[in-house]
Amino acid sequence: MRQRTIRKSAELVGIGLHKGMPVRMRLEPAPADSGITFYRRDKGVEIPLRPQNVVDTKMATVIGKEGVVISTIEHLMSAVYSYGIDNLRIILDNDEVPIMDGSAASYCMLLDEAGIAEQNAPKKVLRIKKSVEIRDGQKYVRLAPSDDFILDFTIHFDHPVIARQHRRFVFSTKAYLQEIARARTFGFLHEVQYLRSMGLARGGSLDNAIVLDERKILNPEGLRFEDEFVRHKILDAIGDLSLFGMPIMGAYEAFAGSHDLNHRLTLALLEDSENYEILEAKAQSIQGIALGAAYAKE
């Protein structure tokens, strides 16, 4: 299987979740083996997508370089990963990726508009060889060997609407579009009020997040899925793991996982070359055939 970029440039305009400022985002094709890079047009700084460039994980995954940052990349990168795109240039005129409706659906539509182009270079695949785990009390995230990319996520909130939710997701682009892409981010009203007192979440609204008070969901349209909360956590995890820069052959498992734990997991895995290997997904190989099926939309 070969590397992928987009066929033509495409752009959208939205607002940033935390500052509430308008942001124009443009996606452009990139050459084979160039990877995914973000470019702050207003600052003239390019930031390659890699775990070492993550500078903050408290409220979102934030990458930075030379004091210039780009925040809330995880929803966009979840969609980019799920379309099997290896090389891409993402141009922004502000420091946040537009939040859109709080899911990955708008980015998937943008990628459909741009189209996919295969490139004359073999796709590289990260195969997990040894289990690596990060724990914080009862919370944990883990990557383990597997012939497929599988995400198994459990969450537990002391809230009557969420409670305990679990979902096991075997990755494919088609399954991602049907089961994961439309799941929205969520937050609690008291947290939103606190964040706004700190000058954050200014762009957050019922149009781009599920908001809950102590008893119920405040969004008049309700949920898109009964277990939308854990589905969104899977969406986030795919976005965070996309910082490896290549498709993953491995099983991801999490209980109450977070951006911070996911980031620490990527760094821990890469610390020891015994934990993984990088393969070329040749058409005649088992890995290539499996990967080809994973990225088939039809």
Instruction: Please give the Cα distance from 80 to 108 (Å, whole number).
Output: 8
Q: Share the mean pLDDT of the chain.
A: 93
pLDDT in tens, 220-260: 999 999 999 999 999 999 999 999 999 999 999 999 999 99
pLDDT in tens, 68-112: 999 999 999 999 999 999 999 999 999 999 999 999 999 999 999
**At residue 217, what are phi and psi to the nearest 5 degrees?**
-85, 135
Q: Do 40 and 151 share a domain, yes or no?
A: no
Residue ranges making up the domain that contains 160: 125-294
Q: Do 88 and 172 share a domain, yes or no?
A: no
Q: Do 108 and 16 share a domain, yes or no?
A: yes
Q: Which of 83, 107, 122 is the last residue of a domain?
A: 122
Q: Do 175 and 246 share a domain, yes or no?
A: yes
Q: Do 26 and 111 share a domain, yes or no?
A: yes
- HEC readout, 88-148: EEEEECCCECCCCCCCCHHHHHHHHHHCEEEEEEECEEEEECCCEEEEECCEEEEEECCCC
**At residue 84, what are phi and psi to the nearest 5 degrees?**
70, 30
Type and span of the H or E element at 240: helix 228-241
pLDDT in tens, 133-163: 999 999 999 999 999 999 999 999 999 999 9
Instruction: Answer for the pair 198, 59: CB distance below 8 angstroms, yes or no.
Output: no
Q: Do 137 and 59 share a domain, yes or no?
A: no
Q: Do 105 and 227 share a domain, yes or no?
A: no
Residue (of 236, 276, 278, 254) closest to 133 by Cα position: 254
Annotated active-site residue 259? The verdict is: yes
Instruction: Please give the Cα distance from 272 to 259 (Å, whole number).
Output: 21
Q: Do 185 and 271 share a domain, yes or no?
A: yes
Instruction: Answer for the pair 118, 267: CB distance below 8 angstroms, yes or no.
Output: no
Instruction: Please give the Cα distance from 289 to 291 (Å, whole number).
Output: 5
The CATH number of residue 204's host domain is 3.30.1700.10
pLDDT in tens, 161-198: 999 999 999 999 999 999 999 999 999 988 777 666 66
Q: Do 118 and 25 share a domain, yes or no?
A: yes
Q: Do 53 and 134 share a domain, yes or no?
A: no
Give the pLDDT band (50/70/90) at residue 216.
very high
pLDDT recorded at residue 20: 79
The CATH number of residue 90's host domain is 3.30.230.20
At 39 the three-state DSSP class reads strand
pLDDT recorded at residue 126: 97
pLDDT recorded at residue 110: 98
pLDDT recorded at residue 191: 79
pLDDT, average across residues 31-53: 98
Among residues 18, 75, 232, 259, which one is catalytic? 259
Instruction: Please give the Cα distance from 233 to 139 (Å, whole number).
Output: 14
Domains held by the chain: number: 2
pLDDT, average across residues 36-58: 97
Q: Do 239 and 282 share a domain, yes or no?
A: yes
What's the pTM?
0.95
**DSSP-assigned letter for residue 285:** S
pLDDT in tens, 270-279: 999 999 999 9
Q: Which of 122, 156, 180 is the last residue of a domain?
A: 122
Q: Which of 80, 99, 122 is the last residue of a domain?
A: 122
Q: Do 140 and 208 share a domain, yes or no?
A: yes
